[in-house]
Amino acid sequence: MAEPKHQAARAERAKKTVAKIQKLAGETLREVRREQNPAVSIPIRALSNVTFSAKRQLIELGDKSQSREFFNVSMAKKFMQTFLVAGACKDLLESGKTTSIRDLFYMTKHTIKGAKENTFDDQVESDPIIEDLEVSLDALREELHLFAAKRGSMVGPMVIVDAGDEIDLARMGSGGWSIPSITEDYVIEFKKSEAEYVLLVEKEAVWHRLNEDKFWKKHKCMLVTGNGQATRGVRRLLQRMATELKIPLYVLVDNDPWGLYIYSVVKQGSISLAYESMRMAVPKARFLGLRTRDFKRFKLSEDVKIDLEKEDIARAKQMLAYPWFAAKHWQEEIGDLLAAGFKMEIEALSNKDISFVTDVYVPEKIAKKDWLA
């Protein structure tokens, strides 16, 4: 019997990733045999090493890197940790199994023989090592057979194939389909879709309102929530729907700096994951709101206002300086927020009516093309 398409594709990717790990190990071993100080070059994942491409509308990783050396007291432990994680990933790939980043922490955690020191003391040590490996090997976390906890739901007029199982996303009940951590085409296939656009909702509670009101059925759209900042799996799925199905993506978030940031990450990527922007960001994503001007436009009650805190103000001013918020409309939007001195949650729309977001806000915004891009 022929091997299923998704399994064959996955096996081929695993083979290529193992080869990358073996190449890294081989180069390091040759340095040891030449009695040189073995080192690994790690691209720097920080604001100092990212640029914003105005043409592509993406945050991109620069070419700065740092050397992680074995014969360096401050680097030796991380050097060792890098190869511990690489070895564990190689075992996963060769066995055809996947595991969580939490499991990987425990797989590689032990007390060093003859010492009282652990290889890892906490997961906050192992997670950055995984990201270092990703960018160093040019192999994504998913290609290393690692996944994070699920966080996100989707419902709408689409039939998908998930790891060989056909699923009708119009028949997912009140909870929707739980979006997995790995949403590559060799796992998730879009078999049939009648969706005219995708609506990403920051808040799960608002997503439930829209789902219960069958917004997706009436307006023929895919209704998605990332439960806050969208995970990598959710962002990858959004990017695939936008590019493969060629339908627009609208983003509905809170009226605060954090909502704006959630949108910006979906639109052009993030600083820490700049090396993944090309496969995760949706440069044409449309910002639907909530906006400061919506307070007057929809005649919302004074009760929904929440005073901006010091952290909100500092974050907004910081965002004003980012090149990806340099456009006039974004400077005005953030300026309006600061000038108003208050923020609002999407749930504030329920102050008008429990289904106001479903019946009025979203349909009117899309119909009148009242969005920012």
- CATH code for the domain of 241: 3.40.1360.10
CA atoms within 13 A on the CB side of 216: 30
Identify the pLDDT of residue 1: 34
Task: Using 70 as the pLDDT threshold, list the residues of the chain that sit under it.
Answer: 1-6
Looking at the fold, whether 324 and 283 belong to one and the same domain comes out as yes
Identify the pLDDT of residue 255: 97
Domains identified in the chain, total number: 2
Identify the pLDDT of residue 4: 59
Closest by Cα among 165, 161, 166, 168 to 185: 161
Looking at the fold, whether 172 and 215 belong to one and the same domain comes out as yes
Cα–Cα–Cα angle for 129, 132, 138, rounded to 5 degrees: 135
Looking at the fold, whether 117 and 167 belong to one and the same domain comes out as no
Identify the pLDDT of residue 2: 36
Identify the pLDDT of residue 3: 47
DSSP, collapsed to helix, strand or coil, labels residue 341 as coil
Looking at the fold, whether 138 and 167 belong to one and the same domain comes out as no
Q: Is position 50 within any domain?
A: no
pLDDT tens-digit profile of 75-92? 999 999 999 999 999 999
- Catalytically annotated residues: 106
Looking at the fold, whether 135 and 186 belong to one and the same domain comes out as no
| CA atoms of 184 and 207, how far apart (whole Å) | 24
pLDDT tens-digit profile of 235-256? 999 999 999 999 999 999 999 9
Looking at the fold, whether 273 and 347 belong to one and the same domain comes out as yes
Range of the domain at 106: 5-37+72-147
